[in-house]
Structure 1
Amino acid sequence: MATAVALATGTMASATAAAASGTTGGGGKGIGEVDVKPLDPDFFLPGRFKGKTLIVTGCARGMGRAAAIRAAREGANVVGVDWIRDEGEAVVEAIRREGGQARFVYGDVGDTRTCDRMVQVAVEDFGGLDLALNNAGVMDAVFPGEPVDYARQKDLIFQSVHQASDEYWEKVLRTNATGVFKSMRAELRQLVAQRRGGAIVNVGSVAGLIGFGGTCAYSASKHAVSGLTRSAAIDYSVYGIRVNSVNMATTETPMYERAKALLTARARESKGMPQVGLMKIDSLLQATDSHKRGATAWEQVAVMLFLLSEEASNLTGALYATDGGYTAY
């Protein structure tokens, strides 16, 4: 099952199942005979993005961090954006130590000023903008930099409609839906003005492709990402700008681990309540893996960067299920 994370991604359904069963994402034994080997985190394609400038929102952790690092290794000038300042700055510094080009913009993508500023930095420091990965997102209304404290945070975490607070709904929609809109708006204004094409990838979730229980705001926000992706692909095809999304199931990131901890605490408190979301738990690849592993951030990033590259020149308006086969059955 799934989520797309925000500053990184994990999955709600699998975390819920792990909490209820006492297992973890990497625990248990799958039913397969041969495991699929995960992508080597050190793999990259030298020079693929040479001379290109890429914005990565949610660069501090998980998929955003992996994307910024790999894209820089492939020659991109990277503008990393995050509201976790110390971790975001550390990613940019790590890129520079490797000899890459990167700048950091601190801020919240739900704020128009942050989105305008990240494009301004791309233009002022690197001469323009070519590509964007809108990865920033949240699973709930708790700031991702805060430690888990279920008793204090329970009114802010993922809920069904009748239990959801205003703050949970509004903060998730602000980051995941409004944040993607504002990021795209700033990026597309620049790409249109430049008149040299470009590509955008939005990070969605399988929760934006199918129904998804127990997390009404998250699911609604990721369906919004799907709609924004398709709408923009239509409007901006005439400018040579491609827009696609990736939609993952369980992906092992810091956000997944945090969600698992919160859901374990909630499962203890609501013992005996129906868990409809557990009717389907694992993706095909997770169910068959000998350790029931989820996807790695590097596996997700491989698809994101492919869609941003010139190799994907005929691809736009598509919602790619990078979900290990979760939506196949």
Structure 2
Amino acid sequence: MWERSLVLSAPGKVILHGEHAVVHGKVALAVALDLRTFLRLRPCGEGRVCVRLPGVGVVRSWDTLRLQALRRGFAGKRWEEETAARSPSVEQLDTLKEFAGISAGASAPESLATLAFLYMCLAISAKYGWTEEELTLINSWAFQGERVIHGNPSGVDNAVATWGGALRYQSGKITPLKRVPMLRILLTNTKVPRSTKVLVASVKEKILKFPAIMNPVLDSIDAISQECQSVLEAMPANPSPEYYPVLEELFDINQHHLNVIGVGHPSLDRLCRVTASHGLHSKLTGAGGGGCGITLLRSDTSPLAVEAAKRDLCACGFECWETSIGAPGVTLHSSSSLNAEVLHALSES
């Protein structure tokens, strides 16, 4: 029997540059954040498999014998034949939904998270490790979870979570950046909901309506991503303060471009104004239309200035976290490497 507990973590992710343009074949830069999701695996002597996902309010358990029977009799084929390269079939997912009591059309985060857990619980063997081959396997299975939840994902989220650092994404090809500085940022959630699908469609419509205007804007966003990549890869060897004004200008220019293509929002404009009043530079990250924004912090930005900016952002009704980009990827922790706050949170879950 598996006798010891394991604690693992993986980083969050934001798009630094290239939102929406990436849909049209341009370069996007995705970076790992030092805001991590932790997973604790521990043996259970009750003959059950239990999962607790406090972030989405999931607390479920299943009898081990029932899971084993499901695996053996799953649609007449063996789970051992499953690979991380094969997409989950509709039949498989429907069977798991029925098993877990999830309605056929359910799209709530808790339902999709439960479905992804069950699928991978039954499909993955117990082997784990940290060689490049094994990281590739982790990434492949994480992509399967993305497929269960999102249907046709890009593969960027799972790749950043697995390898960390920063990645260049273009036309389906994912390339890790060679070197990445640990830049400090503020991540701010405006709490304004939006539909990525609707925003992507609206950008496409505008490109079709005004191609001579919009295509040069996308080319410019592409150039911003590539210029930012050059700066990020140069900084570790020469950590000069002169790079920060360049990165700040790129933030400003890209934010204006994103407003031009129609994915801005008054809440994001307000975020940029608030941080500008403290001498800081911000842009939206992701789909836009609300959602989140990121603010670059220079290496010499004082803690008092950061706290003042956070206070003013929170006064707008936003949520704000100070973190850094370029964080490491999936990590296996020892108890001694975890701080008291993380250990307490894990003990409560």
Query: What TM-score do you get using the length of structure 2 for normalisation?
Result: 0.26
Structure with more of its chain in strand, by fraction: 2
TM-score by length of 1: 0.27
